[in-house]
Amino acid sequence: MSAEATNPATPGPVVPAAPRRRSRPRIDLRRLGRAALLGPASRGRLPDAIGHVVESHRFHHPDADLEPLRRAYVLAESSHRGQMRKSGEPYITHPLAVTLILAELGAETTTLTASLLHDTVEDTDVTLDQVGDEFGAEVRYLVDGVTKLEKVDYGAAAEPETFRKMLVATGNDVRVMSIKLADRLHNMRTLGVMRPEKQERIAKVTRDVLIPLAERLGVQALKTELEDLVFAILHPEEYAYTRELIVENASRADDPLAEFADAMRAVLRDADIQAEVLIRPRHFVSLHRTARKRGRLRGSDFGRLLVLVNEDADCYAVLGELHTCMTPVVSEFKDFIAVPKFNLYQSLHTAVARDDGQVAEVLIRTHQMHKVAEAGVVALGNPYAAPPEEQTAPDGERVDPTRPGWLSRLLDWQEAAPDPDTFWSTLREDLAQDREITVFRPDGAPSACPTVPPAWTPRTRSTARTPTPASAPVSTAAWRP
C-alpha cells in the first residue's frame, strides 16, 4: 500500500491550465484527492464522492455509461475501508484522486474503472479473478498491469521486476502506463511526510524512468508536473530560487507577454482568422533551463504564447500573418505538423521580436492537436474499440500510435537483460540517453524515431530505416527528460 500523505506546507509547482473549447469551472486536482467521503449511496445512485470524476468524465464523454464507475467505487471504498494514509485520510482518497487526474485528461470509462480499482488487488482481499468476473477482461488486465510484485517473493528485485512486468503489459495496452503515471503523480504530490531519503529515492526513480516514459507517450500534462515535483525534492535551492523569480516577475507592472498577445489578437482579427491567443507560463523546470541557457531573463521568457485554431490550414495562415506583420526570429521556426514527433506531438513553433529586444515564443496548433499534446495516448481512448486493420508503415514503425515502435524495441531489449539489476540500470541509462531523429526517405516522407541506444543491441535489426541518400536532408532534434 502506498503510504504517502498530503503535506499542505509543500509548495506545488505552477501548472498551466489547458484551455477548453467549452467553459466549465476549473477543478483543483490537488485538493480534490483529499475530499471527505460523503457516505454510502443508495442502490443504483452514483456516490457523491465521485461527483467530480463524473463531471470531468461527462465533459469529455457525454454519452459514457457511468454504471461501471459506480460499481468500481463501491467495491474500492468497501475494500479499502479502515485503511488510512499517513496523513490520517481514508485511503480511498488516493484512487479517487488518481481517477480524477485521468478523467481530466479525457480517459475513457474502462481506464477510469481500472484506476478506481488499481490498488485493490495489491492492498486488499480482492482478487484478480473477482475483478475480471465483475468488470471484464480489460479492467482485469489493467489492474494486473499496475499491481506491484511482492517484496516477500522478489526481495530487492521487486521494484525492477515490477517495472519489467508493467512495460510488458504496456506493450499490449498503453492504458496500463497511463494509470501508473497518474498514480505516481498523486503520490509525488503527497510525498511531504515521508522521510527525506525515501523522498529522494522515489524522486530519482520518477526522474529516471517515469518522466521519460511520460515524454514518449506524449502525456505532457503529467510529465511537466512530475518534473517540477522532482525538481523541488532533488534540487530544493534551485527550486526556491526559480520560485522567487516567478514571484518577482508576477509583481511587474508591465507584462510583455500580455502586450505580445494583444498585438497578435489584433493581427489575427484584422486577417479574419478565428483563433484563441493564450499565455502559457513556463513550468519551473522549463524556466530553470531557460535561465541557465540565456542568463538574465526578460519578462517574455517567463511563458510562451499559445494560438489555438480549428483547422490545420489555419495554423499556417496564422504563421503567415505573424511573420508578415511582426518580426520573426527565423532560427526559432519548427514545423511539427508536417513532421510530427514520435510521441504524437504536433504544433508549429516560431518566435517574434520587438524593438526593445523582447522575444516571445509562439506555439500554433489546433484544438485537437492541443488535446493530444497535453494528454498524449490518454486522448486516444480505448485501443480495443473498433481497431483498424493491422498496418505497417514503410519504415517499419507500426501505424497504430497506441503501440509505438520504440515500445516494441524496448520490450525486445528487456528480454535480452534477464538479470533484474542489469535490466534496471540499463533501462534507466537508455531512457536518459535516447534521442529522436527525423530521417527523410527517398520519397521525401519524414520518419521520426528514437535511435537505438548503445547500451543494448536488439537481437534483430529488421526494422532499420531505409538508408538516406546523400542528397536528402537529415535533421536531428535532441531531447532530454
Residues designated as active site: 122-123
Amino acid at 66: L
Cα 424 to Cα 418: distance, rounded to the nearest angstrom:
10
- C-alpha 191: how far from chain center: 19
Residue the block writes with cell 534540487: 235
Q: Pairing mode, if any, of strands 327-328 and 436-440?
A: unpaired
Residue the block writes with cell 534496471: 424
Cα 217 to Cα 149: distance, rounded to the nearest angstrom:
24
Phi, psi of 13 (to 5 degrees): -70, 155
Inter-axis angle of helices 220-234 and 175-189, nearest 10: 40
Cα 308 to Cα 364: distance, rounded to the nearest angstrom:
6
State how far the alpha carbon of 416 is from the alpha carbons of 160, 161, 421, 423, 424, in Å. Answer: 15, 14, 13, 9, 12
Give the length of the chain.
Answer: 481
Burial of 168: CB neighbours in 10 Å, binned 0-12, 13-18, 19+: middle
Taking alpha carbons only, the member of 18, 14, 30 closest to residue 378 is: 18
